[in-house]
Structure 1
Amino acid sequence: MAAYLLLALLNWSLIDSVSRSIESVYVQEDSVRTSKEMEIKTSPEEDWFSVVQHESGHFLVGYLLGVLPRHYEIPTLEAVRQNVSNVTGRVEFVGFEFLKQLMKDDVDGQMNQGNISSKTLNNFSCVILGGMVTEHILFGYSEGLYSDIVKLNDVLRWLGFTESEKEAHIKWAVSNTVSLLHSHKEARVSLAETMAKAKPISTCIEAIESAISTHQI
């Protein structure tokens, strides 16, 4: 019972930490990003490690929710060492094609309200937060990768969410994402190791399933 209560407290602390980070992005997106980048001095190896962990969070949450990853990219350590600008990773998923319409509306300056299923929105919200939550679990903060939060905000605005609806939905998504990643931490570690080697998606999925099978009670 005591262990359960301790885990619950840790989860709530983590949820609060992520939620406050998201709120800071909304309030002062540019200044917060700049201050973070100035405060946190890291080596190329640490930067590369952070990117791998971040993308593994996206990948794992998507897979666990039944959203199939179709492609992923992890920068090489050498690229990070050469200080190539905007060196980041990415994971693309089947089923999030609505993002193309959102971007088109944004470029065209249209105010059309989007429409997607609640399941798609819920899955997308958890997946997009997977990277940031992973960083908070490992490091206690997110190292300036706020584009995911901006994208989630754009989607919710596109769908016509009010500010209070946005806040409630994001808190729900953070809570669920924290739970998923805490429950499958061994799978995420194994997945990150596999992604760091740029293995095929099929091998990444095998790493997840093997870890889950091994640690099942």
Structure 2
Amino acid sequence: MSKISLNLIAITIFTLTLSSLLGPIFNLSPAVPAIATFCLLGLATLDTLSWQGQGGTLLVDWLAGASGEHRERIVRHEAGHFLVAYLLDIPVAGYALNAWEAFRQGHSAQGGVRFDDRELALEVQQGRLSAQLLDRYCTVWMAGIAAETLIYGSAEGGAEDRQKVRAVLTQLRLPQQGQLKERWASLQAKSLIESHQSAYEALVAAMAQRLPVDECCRLISESTTLPTKEHGDSSR
């Protein structure tokens, strides 16, 4: 089962156990918690086996989305990915700001910015990934965390972004470089966002309105006098 489904099951069991203990006080039949537990566990199992845990993801995302501050943080996180990808010439294929939007677009119930990473996949598969391409993608992956940290002082999201960096380094047999690469890429992304602040704010507003990718790119271009297309190599 997915981590989300397991967490939901744990919370459900705790709540139902508590209700069974307090049931006699409120004249609640012991059968009610038992039936509810059976039904919820069945739904969690069905979600995991049939939908790969997407139902649990949608539920958690819906609950979290009730907070306006949380929605704003997500937009700023994803705008960081989008902007840095644009600046580093990595094509953006699309984006979704929550699990439901991603699901409706025909993708797994996981929001985020989608990139055209065929070049990366090909080079990794052939075992000839260049240091420059690796640095570019790592910078893009860490850009969401960098954007959150820049605006809020810390990042709530980004666990999957860190995992992408570590996964590709593990595939390249360089797992020991994980933390160093994350820090370096985060600093590079932060520098790019800071030096293109007007473009970043324009992009945040555009993504909040769910404007198409082409329109978002046009706004970045208009807000950027001289787009930065190069950055240093961490191996130097």
Q: TM-score scaled by structure 1? A: 0.63
Shift of 1:171: 2.9
**Do 1:129 and 1:148's aligned partners in 2 also have CA atoms closer than 8 Å?**
yes
Task: Tell me the distance in 2 between the aligned counterparts of 1:137 and 1:51.
Answer: 14
Aligned to 1:150: 163
- Could you say which structure has the larger radius of gyration? 2
**Do 2:149 and 2:155's aligned partners in 1 also have CA atoms closer than 8 Å?**
yes
Task: Tell me the distance in 2 between the aligned counterparts of 1:43 and 1:94.
Answer: 31
Aligned to 1:92: 114
- Equivalent residues in 2 for 1:92-171, closer than 5 Å: 92-96=114-118, 98=120, 114-163=127-176, 165-171=177-183
Shift of 1:123: 0.9
- Equivalent residues in 2 for 1:56-75, closer than 5 Å: 56-75=79-98
1:187 counterpart = 2:210: no
Task: Tell me the distance in 2 between the aligned counterparts of 1:206 and 1:123.
Answer: 21
* Distance change in 2, residues 1:52/1:162 (3 Å): closer
Percent identical: 29
Query: Residue 114 of structure 2 aligns to a residue in which SS?
Result: strand
Shift of 1:207: 1.1
Task: Tell me the distance in 2 between the aligned counterparts of 1:89 and 1:198.
Answer: 13
1:201 counterpart = 2:213: yes
**Do 1:113 and 1:159's aligned partners in 2 also have CA atoms closer than 8 Å?**
no
**Do 1:68 and 1:93's aligned partners in 2 also have CA atoms closer than 8 Å?**
yes
Higher relative contact order (Cα pairs below 8 Å, separated by 6+ residues): 1
Shift of 1:170: 2.7
Q: Which runs of 5+ in 2 are unaligned?
A: 1-63, 102-107, 227-236
**Do 2:98 and 2:112's aligned partners in 1 also have CA atoms closer than 8 Å?**
no
Shift of 1:114: 4.5
Shift of 1:209: 1.3
Shift of 1:124: 0.6
Deviations 1:107-147 (A, max 9, x none): xxxxx995422222111100000101000001111114311
The letter of the residue matching 2:204 is: A
* Distance change in 2, residues 1:140/1:118 (3 Å): same
Task: Tell me the distance in 1 between the aligned counterparts of 2:69 and 2:95.
Answer: 20
Query: Residue 72 of structure 1 aligns to a residue in which SS?
Result: strand
**Do 1:71 and 1:91's aligned partners in 2 also have CA atoms closer than 8 Å?**
yes
The CA RMSD measured in Å over matched residues stands at 3.2
Q: TM-score scaled by structure 2? A: 0.58
* Distance change in 2, residues 1:138/1:96 (3 Å): farther
Shift of 1:57: 0.4
The letter of the residue matching 1:176 is: Q
Number of matched pairs: 159
